[in-house]
Chain A
Amino acid sequence: MSGIYMAMEIARKAMFANQTAIQVTSHNIANVNTPGYSRQEAILTEAGAMSSSPGQLGMGSVVSGIRQQADLLTERQLVSENGSYASLDYTARAIAQVEGIFNDTTGTGLENRVSEFFNSWDDLSANPQGTAERQAVVSTAELLASEFRRIDSRLTTLKENTNKDIVSITGDVNRIAAQIASLNGAIKAALVQGQQPNDLLDQRGVLLKSLAEKIGYSSITDSLGQVDIYVGNGRTLVDGESAGSLVADASTPAPGSELVYDVKIRLPGQTGPVQVLDTITGSISSGELSSAVRFRDGYLTTVRDRVDQLAYAINTQVNALHSVGYGLPGGVPPTGVAFFTPLVPIDPLAPSKDAARNFQVDAGIVSDLRRVAAARVEGAETPPALPGDNRNALLMAGLRNVSVADLGDATIPDYIAGMVGRIGSETRGADLDLQHQKVVVNYLETRREEVSGVSLDEEMTNLIKFQRAFEASTKMVSLLDTLLDDVLNMKK
């Protein structure tokens, strides 16, 4: 009798164990497309044995646990490489926007405007008294000036957009940090109760990965399974169940005029006004946030400096030559006139600052074409200059072939070509970096998938396996039932 009951018990346990395994399989199938999900497996073990004569008899099977298939090393690498990918992706997209501003392949950019400007002086030299030629000099100069201002305003817009990005990324970071802190709490609670919170761990894994895309961090997992997160030179962002936050602070005006968005951190539990918070703008190690900051403070500034340098050089070179030249009789004053509005240096150490933004044909020239100085007074000659004198116009037209110290001894067209080529190769470099990183991430993701991914074929096979075992167990129960019937019918 005890044999039959025992066998019944074993069959019941088997049904239960295989049901659990089927449930796990079903969970795996359900999550086949869930990002960051790690395949789970019901661990079936023998249920032990009881002593009997002639020997020990097994007592069936039980599910001793649910195991997650994960390669921790790959997971960790994936988090950091994925973070690098996100930051390279941001940089490549940002730089491509700069490239768009300078795209000269259609022939309407700086090169063209500069050439047209110098050509107009050549035309003037052929007819120094011509009103049409003088007007052309002023018009091409205005086109050149507006091209400089257009570039400057587009770079400014890019900077403003980057600031908006910084605000939005810090928001993402804060949301993720808060979610991680709350998951920390749930994971701790489960572990304390002796449960393995596989799905919570997966969710937190996904969040940690997203966080790495936004900002570089270091982390420590404590004995209660909670992850503490540190950013910007070891400042705490998440401490167990409480999260700090980042603040994009626009309250510190730069010495110039534009607002500077600094990234500050409010530690978990920290109170007080923004002013007391630590600034971490310069110490963010990777992620989109660091790319945005570096793009704004690094690349964008560099490109702007190059453009300003060019604008400054053209402005000062043209003015130096123009102010010693002479206009047509009747123009007042006859000489000493600036052609472009002279730049007022904002910063004596960086005289070219904002040169592109303030690039303008001087109002005095626009209002009286006679002031365009095509003539010179040389050697023993005495003013006024003669109306047919074209010697200053010739020098002006020849300026394009003069090496300029402010441009590193390049000529103006060469400097423009170099600038354009440089931006092209920087864009290409950022693209190549991104493509390379994509390969690295793809490789790691495949490796992760190999271990942790769900294969539907495999799950279906398992399903059949567990289904058959379950079916056999049910058969077992009905068979044992007839056996019991037989026993009860013996006494009729």
Chain B
Amino acid sequence: MRVTDKIMYDQMRFSVMANRDRLFAIQQRIASNRKLTSLSDDPRGSEKASRLKSTRSELDQFHRNIRAGKTSLELTGAALQGVEDLLVRAKEISVQFSSGEYSAGDRKLAAEEVAGIYRQVVSYANAKNGSDYLFSGFGSGTPAYSAAGVWQGDAGVRELRIGASERMAVNVTGASVFGSSDSAGLMKDLRDFQAALDAGDTAGISNAMTTMDSGLNAVLSGLADVGTRLKHVEVMDIAIGTMQTSIATELSGIEDLDIAEMASELAKQEAAYQAAVQVAGRVSSLSILNGSSK
């Protein structure tokens, strides 16, 4: 091979520049702390990262949905709990007064207490989450029951997405626990109970024992339902957390830099670059021009 000056200089330039290129690429990665600085660094990885990020974003959202759902369910549970306590008291009154041995004055006082219980039950049934009436179904802008105890809600079940194809119901409709009709249900039962106490209607008071029991049962089954759902949601939340962790790990594997590996890579490239520069210096000083006397 006939090696001319241009071949030598080109070779020097080529090797020095190629080393600089690699050095720069490593520097850029370290500076940005990212393995991928452009899509073409790892096309398959970029594609996968995009998918993972989309999934991660949806999982984060599921977690948010679950939090919102939990709030709604917990508030519902608290309201039902309140109603339960009131009904237990109402039941006591009905048992106490069914014996008929109380004075009209006592009955009057008891009737007033039941009236208070009724008002409180209506108020619990109109509990709100923010501006939403919890028990109104989809008509959550209006109270579930009017002051007169008339059902104003609907059977709408508010659901939230907690999985790509899984939803959870986050409300309990007033109709399912307190009754939906003006001619039957807990509200009417409480009013009837109060009227019976007022009138000294012993049969009516005895009947209240039964109606308060069934009211209590409806509330308790509502509570049990809420409890079950809360438990399920918590299990789901843990599962989502696990998926979030595994996605984060996978994403980090694609995108994040292994600093230790990069540092040693940098040292290696520096050495290669220095070698290229030194060789260039040596080779370019080799010439007949430096050897001849003229």
| Chain A interface residues (CB < 8 Å from chain B) | 32-33, 96, 99-100, 102-105, 107, 111-112, 114-116, 118-119, 122-123, 125-130, 375, 385-391, 394, 397-398, 400-401, 413-414, 416-418, 420-425, 427-428, 431, 442, 445-446, 449-451, 453-458, 460-461, 464
User: Is B40 in contact with A126, judged by CB distance below 8 angstroms?
Assistant: no
| Chain A proximity of B38: nearest CB distance (Å) | 6
Q: A199 CA to B164 CA in the complex, in Å?
A: 75
B167 / chain A contacts, CB cutoff of 8 Å? 394
Task: Indicate if the CB atoms of A455 and B5 lie closer than 8 Å.
Answer: yes
Known pairs A111-B53, A461-B288; A386 contacts B39 (CB<8 A):
no
Query: Which 10 pairs, one residue from A and one from B, show the smallest C-beta to C-beta distance?
Result: A421-B47, A388-B140, A424-B39, A424-B43, A453-B4, A386-B138, A413-B54, A115-B57, A425-B43, A417-B50
For the complex formed, measure the closest distance between the CB of A49 and the CB atoms of chain B, giving whole angstroms. 34
Q: How far is the CB of B203 from chain A (nearest CB, A)?
A: 41
A457-B288 contact given A104-B39, A105-B39, CB 8 Å threshold: yes
B270 on the A face (CB < 8 A): no
B63-71, B73-81, B93-101, B237-245: which lies at the interface: B63-71
Q: Are A423 and B39 in contact (CB under 8 A)?
A: yes
A388-B54 in contact (CB<8A): no
CB-CB under 8 A from B132, the residues of chain A are 127, 129, 388
- Contact yes or no, A450 B140, CB < 8 A: no
| B44, CB-defined interface residue at 8 Å | yes
Interface pair A454/B38, CB less than 8 Å apart: no
Is there an interface contact between A460 and B289, defined as CB atoms closer than 8 Å?
yes
**Pair B39/A102 contact, Cβ less than 8 Å:** yes
A372 shortest CB reach to chain B, Å: 16
How far, in whole Å, are A116 and B61 apart by their CA atoms in the complex?
9
Q: Of residues A100, A417, A458, which shows the largest number of chain B Cβ atoms within 10 Å of its Cβ?
A: A417
Q: Is A414's CB under 8 angstroms from B58's CB?
A: no
> Assuming A111-B54, A417-B48, A450-B7, is B287 touching A122 (CB within 8 A)?
no
Given contacts A103-B39, A442-B14, A451-B2, contact A387 B139 (CB under 8 A): yes
Nearest neighbor of B39 in chain A, beta-carbon distance: A424
Contact (Cβ within 8 A) B64 A400: no
- Complex: A274 Cα to B132 Cα, angstroms: 72
Per the bound structure, the CA–CA distance linking A209 and B248 in Å amounts to 53
Q: Is B285 an interface residue (CB 8 A)?
A: no
B58 touching A119 by the CB < 8 A rule? yes
Q: Is the CB–CB distance between B292 and A464 below 8 Å?
A: yes
Give the distance in Å from the alpha carbon of A408 to the alpha carbon of B249 in the complex: 30
- With A401-B164, A453-B4: A388-B50 Cβ-Cβ less than 8 Å: no
Residues of B within 8 A of A454 (CB): 4-6
Question: In the bound complex, what is the Cα–Cα distance between A464 and B141 (angstroms)?
Answer: 105
* From B55, B161, B289, residue with most partner A Cβ within 10 Å: B161
Taking a contact as CB atoms closer than 8 A, the residue among B53, B131, B160 that contacts A115 in the complex is B53
Is there contact, CB below 8 Å, between B37 and A105?
Answer: yes
Report the separation of the CA atoms of residues A461 and B289 in the bound assembly, to the nearest whole angstrom: 10
Contact at A389–B39, with CB atoms within 8 Å?
no
B51 and A413 contacting across the interface, CB-CB below 8 Å: yes
**Candidates B5, B42, B65, B156; contact of A456 at CB < 8 Å:** B5
Q: Can you name the residue of chain B whose Cβ is closest to the Cβ of A114?
A: B54
Between-chain CB contacts (< 8 Å), 17 pairs: A32-B5, A122-B161, A125-B159, A126-B65, A388-B132, A391-B159, A398-B161, A413-B55, A421-B43, A421-B50, A424-B38, A424-B41, A449-B4, A450-B3, A454-B5, A458-B4, A464-B292
Which residues of A lie under 8 Å from residue B156 when comparing CB positions? 386, 388-389
How distant is the Cα of A32 from the Cα of B255 in the complex, in angstroms? Answer: 48
Interface status of B113 (Cβ within 8 A of chain A): no
Apart from A111-B54, A445-B10, A461-B288, what 20 extra A-B contacts exist at CB < 8 Å?
A32-B5, A99-B38, A105-B34, A105-B39, A122-B65, A129-B131, A386-B139, A386-B156, A388-B137, A421-B43, A422-B43, A424-B46, A446-B7, A450-B1, A450-B3, A450-B4, A453-B6, A454-B5, A455-B4, A458-B4
Q: Which residues of B contact A104 (CB under 8 A)?
A: 39, 46, 49-50
Given the known interface contacts A394-B161, A417-B50, the answer about A105 and B38 at a Cβ–Cβ threshold of 8 Å is yes
Contact between A413 and B50, CB atoms less than 8 A apart? yes
> In the bound complex, do residue B7 and residue A449 qualify as a contact, i.e. CB atoms below 8 Å apart?
yes
Chain A nearest CB from B52 CB (Å) reads 9
Chain B residues within 8 Å of A416, by CB: 50, 54
- The answer to whether the Cβ of B103 comes within 8 Å of any Cβ in the partner chain is no
- Determine if A417 and B10 form an interchain contact, defined as CB atoms under 8 angstroms apart: no
Residue B154 interfacial (CB < 8 Å): yes
B20 at the interface (CB under 8 A from A): no
